[in-house]
């Protein structure tokens, strides 16, 4: 079995040449070495697996399966450039190797090279046009590239083949609001939740859409379910806070921002959100002070703010708040010092 990775696991390599020299291999059969290495890889013992793949390549440097396995293990320990080299070697030997092409595609996505990844995904789909994993991957790439309607086409093709494919359902849920179809997106979220009612991501996605269509109370209810599953998730805490602000419940919102700040006292988003809620409560100076702390943490402090009068400073700070949390859209007519 050749290793084909899906997600990047960013770890620090502790590979040791000494360990390689001291490892006793039961035999030098390529298949046995690869089987042992793949077993270690699947147990997340990446550095030990690396030793077996290196041994296989010492014996047979052009073995495509060993090259792909080596690519996978290097990528999993954060050595993307080296991994890319092994993947390219495999493709030089077998240009249509599906596993090598897929690894190359996923690596390029994780390296932020979506256009290149798209090319490899197209090559894969020419070989296996009905593969649901490839169709979802293609949809994800198009989504990253901002081609939302095209992405939806590939998610839809996936669901025609496999109606309960949760990755495609999630893709629809996330993408449809971007083309102004939030209600349709909710239907796909609900289909995913019927399959896995306690899935944190499905719940959070549904909460975001409910917020987007201004169903703030229902969004809070769904966010609360997500928070019960991940009680220390500061993003959900802030999402609840923003929905509470929309309902005019600023004190309650501040309570959730404080929960987030208890976990991460220097979280700039939570500080910004708390500052905005304080402004809405009329505690303008305190709100601006907290927001300026957030600006300092993000290194976006405006050097001219100190030279502005209080009213101008207030307007600049509100603008920064809105840039960071546009859905809340802070609108207050004038500066009112405490």
Q: Which of these ranges, 101-110, 129-138, 295-304, 324-333, has the smallest mean pLDDT?
A: 324-333
Average pLDDT over residues 176-192: 95
**Per the domain annotation, does 312 fall within a domain?**
yes
Say if CB 108 and CB 114 are below 8 A apart.
Answer: yes
Confidence tier at 265 by pLDDT (50, 70, 90): very high
Percent of the chain with pLDDT over 70: 80
Is the confidence at residue 159, as pLDDT, over 90? yes
Examine residue 172 and state whether it is found in any structural domain, yes or no: no
Whether 140 maps to a domain, the answer reads: no
The interaxial angle of helices 268-280 and 310-324, nearest 10 deg, is 130
Half-sphere exposure of 312 (CA within 13 A, CB side): 7
Boundary (domain end) residue, out of 81, 98, 129: 129
The pLDDT score that the predictor gives to residue 321 is 47
pLDDT at 235: 94
Does residue 123 share a domain with residue 6?
yes
Which is higher by pLDDT, 319 or 270? 270
Residue 122 lies in a domain: yes
pTM, entire model? 0.73
Instruction: Give Cα separations from 298 to 155, 174, 179, 323 (angstroms).
Output: 36, 27, 31, 13
- For the cut 60, the answer to whether the pLDDT of residue 111 exceeds it is yes
What is the torsional sign of CA 292, 295, 299, 302?
negative
Listed residues 129, 151, 182: the one ending a domain: 129
**Most confident listed range (21-30, 35-44, 180-189):** 180-189
Mean pLDDT over 70-92 rounds to: 91
d(CA 120, CA 131): 14
Q: How many CB atoms lie within 10 A of CB 63?
A: 20
User: Number of structural domains, the chain?
Assistant: 2
Q: Which residue has the higher pLDDT, 332 or 38?
A: 38
Does residue 292 surpass a pLDDT of 90?
no
Tell me, yes or no, whether 182 lies in a domain: no
Residue 26: pLDDT band by 50, 70, 90 thresholds?
low
Identify the sign of the CA torsion 267, 269, 273, 279.
positive
CATH number of residue 74's parent domain: 1.25.40.10
Considering the domain boundaries, does residue 311 fall inside one? yes
Q: Is residue 189 one of the residues assigned to a domain?
A: no
226/103 Cα distance (integer angstroms) = 32
Q: Which of 94, 129, 164 delimits the end of a domain?
A: 129
Q: Find how far residue 123's CA is from the centre of its chain.
A: 25
Whether 303 has a pLDDT exceeding 60, the answer reads: no
Please give the residue range of the domain that contains residue 315: 234-338
Position 16 scores a pLDDT of 37
Q: Assess if residue 269 is contained within a domain.
A: yes
């Amino acid at each position: 079995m050749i290793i084909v990775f899906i997600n990047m696991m960013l770890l620090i390599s502790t590979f040791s040449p000494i360990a390689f020299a001291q490892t006793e291999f039961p035999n030098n059969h390529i298949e046995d070495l690869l089987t042992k290495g793949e077993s270690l890889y699947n147990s997340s013992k990446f550095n030990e697996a690396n030793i077996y793949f290196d041994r296989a390549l010492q014996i047979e440097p052009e073995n495509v399966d060993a090259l792909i396995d080596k690519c996978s293990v290097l990528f999993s320990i954060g050595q993307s450039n080296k991994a890319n080299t092994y993947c390219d070697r495999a493709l030089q030997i077998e240009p249509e190797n599906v596993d090598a092409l897929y690894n190359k595609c996923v690596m390029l996505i994780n390296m932020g090279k979506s256009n290149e990844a798209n090319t490899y995904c197209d090559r894969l789909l020419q070989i296996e046009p009905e593969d649901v994993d490839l169709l979802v991957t293609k949809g994800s790439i198009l989504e990253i590239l901002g081609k939302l309607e095209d992405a939806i086409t590939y998610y839809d093709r996936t669901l025609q083949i496999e109606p309960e494919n949760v990755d495609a359902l999630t893709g629809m849920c996330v993408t449809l609001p971007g083309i102004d179809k939030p209600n349709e997106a909710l239907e796909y979220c609900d289909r995913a939740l019927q399959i896995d009612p306690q899935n944190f991501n499905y719940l959070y996605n549904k909460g975001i859409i409910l917020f987007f269509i201004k169903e703030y109370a229902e969004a809070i209810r769904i966010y609360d379910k997500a928070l019960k599953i991940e009680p220390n998730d500061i993003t959900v805490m802030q999402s609840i806070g923003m929905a509470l602000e929309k309902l005019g419940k600023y004190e309650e919102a501040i309570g959730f921002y404080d929960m987030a700040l208890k976990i991460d006292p220097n979280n700039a988003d939570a500080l910004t959100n708390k500052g905005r809620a304080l402004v809405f409560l009329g505690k303008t100076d305190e709100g601006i002070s907290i927001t300026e702390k957030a600006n300092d943490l993000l290194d976006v402090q405006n050097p001219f703010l100190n030279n502005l009068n209080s009213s101008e400073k207030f307007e600049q700070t509100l603008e920064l708040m809105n840039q960071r949390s546009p859905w809340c859209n802070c609108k207050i007519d004038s500066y009112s010092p405490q």
